[in-house]
Amino acid sequence: MYALCDVNSMYASCEKVFDPSIRNKPVIVLTNNDGCICAACGIAKRMGIGKKFVPYFQVKDELAAAGAIIRSSNYELYADLSQRMMDTCARFAPHFHIYSIDECFLYYGANYVPPEGWNAHAALIRRTVWKEVRLPIGVGVGSTPTLAKAANHASKRIDGYRGVAVIDNEQIRQHILKHMDVTDVWGIGRRLGKRLNDVGINTAWQLSKAKPGFIRKEFSILVENTVHELNGIPKLNWDEVRSPKQQIFSTRSFGQRVTDKTELRHALISHVTIAASKLRRQNSLLKTLQVFACSSPHDNDSYYRQSILHTFPAPTSDTSIIAHAVSTLVDSVYRKGVKFYKCGVGLIELVDAAHYQQDLFNVLHDKTDLMHCIDRINSRYGRNTVHVAAQGTIQSTTQSTTQGATQKFAMRREFLSPQYTTRLADIPKIFCD
């Protein structure tokens, strides 16, 4: 069985973790430079405000009238809370796979049933993540990754499921698939959904009843695999499944524990190669990169994990540029003596290459060697040892940040919440009378 854990409205929920005063308010998160809306919490969605990708200036007054709390993207906070949520989830199953910044799969083996039963087990994961990280998640359980995804969808969107849904019998499978639009099925995008509608397939249930041969002929082997998966026949390898477009993750556990820095670097750079080719394929450019490595929570040694963010001065999709960044970051992730079990990269902030407006002062690619040289010196000798004077005045230019660094972004982040977990000066303060 597979379980999929997925945070509800990740970015907006992260903003609420260390600021309980806004937990019951509509929270809206903006993209870089406070340009567009990129996330809205459930309360905001229910109020009908905070539609994704709408320019902020267009709805500024409307949001203010609704009493919405506005926040700039705080990727340092989101990446760190993501790691904490992943750590908590990973403890529950022998196999674990990070799918995106707020989603992970757990795999328990084909016929495993937890002693307390699946519903109680899934509810326990959900409760534990809330208790330890204060992030609300939905947990979906199914016999294939696609059914776990469908159950997760049900846990949040279908009446009667409160954050937990388990597809472990035929009746529930039918009930959930009948209540799902075909475009809510994993891997079925809007365009594919339209074509499926044209042949009379409107719900997930109808797709599951379609003849696999017909689907392969009219669509593709990928959609045929989805049909099998909806019927409980595993076809997808979670390492190969398509990631959501907004982020690309490449991560894998090592065959044997790795203790050598060079080996770790090689592994990370191979993840870059995979992720960068996906990036180019979907015509995106990378702005913020996450690099992480950890030991196994199931090993006897004390658990170690490290994650670091890197923001590129100019968005890039060049493998050599990203790989170069990883080479400089590996020193911060590696620790001598740790038996690394898993590592990976996350391309967590992307921009569309087709619509990316080039910066007059920051022409793509041409100054990258210089930029990396500067980053290297700074990561070794401390931030701001060397920096470009112009960076302070160009809004869209960012400097590289390392975990714990207090470097300020040059870009506009007017509504930025504190970096509660990665910056010493921002640690929450509690006052007692």
Q: Which residues bind Mg ion (CB under 5 A)?
A: 6-7, 10, 102
CB of 70 to Mg ion, least distance (A): 20
DSSP 220: -
As a three-state string, the secondary structure of 31-56 is CHHHCEEEEECHHHHHHCCCCCCCEH
Q: Is 24 exposed, middle or buried (0-12, 13-18, 19+ CB in 10 A)?
A: exposed
As a three-state string, the secondary structure of 145-164 is HHHHHHHHHHHHHCCCCCCE
Q: Which is nearer to Mg ion, 158 or 377 (CB)?
A: 158
Q: Which is nearer to Mg ion, 11 or 312 (CB)?
A: 11
Rounded distance between C-alpha atoms, residue 263 and residue 315, angstroms: 27
CB of 169 to Mg ion, least distance (A): 26
Q: Is 336 exposed, middle or buried (0-12, 13-18, 19+ CB in 10 A)?
A: exposed
Structure tokens given for 200: 């009379």
CB of 126 to Mg ion, least distance (A): 13
CB of 101 to Mg ion, least distance (A): 9
Q: Which is nearer to Mg ion, 88 or 316 (CB)?
A: 88
CB of 6 to Mg ion, least distance (A): 4
Q: Which is nearer to Mg ion, 82 or 368 (CB)?
A: 82
Structure tokens given for 363: 């022409």
Q: Which is nearer to Mg ion, 6 or 76 (CB)?
A: 6
Q: Which is nearer to Mg ion, 10 or 28 (CB)?
A: 10
Q: Residue 204, SS3?
A: helix
DSSP 390: G
CB of 13 to Mg ion, least distance (A): 9
Q: Which is nearer to Mg ion, 6 or 15 (CB)?
A: 6
CB of 9 to Mg ion, least distance (A): 7
User: How many other C-beta atoms can be found within 10 angstroms of the C-beta atom of residue 389?
Assistant: 6
CB of 75 to Mg ion, least distance (A): 16
Measured CA to CA in angstroms, residue 421 lies from 27, 75, 258, 332, 351 at distances of 20, 12, 27, 17, 26
Q: Which is nearer to Mg ion, 39 or 275 (CB)?
A: 39
Rounded distance between C-alpha atoms, residue 29 and residue 43, angstroms: 13
Give the angle subtended at the CA of 82 by the CAs of 42 and 158, to the nearest 5°.
Answer: 35
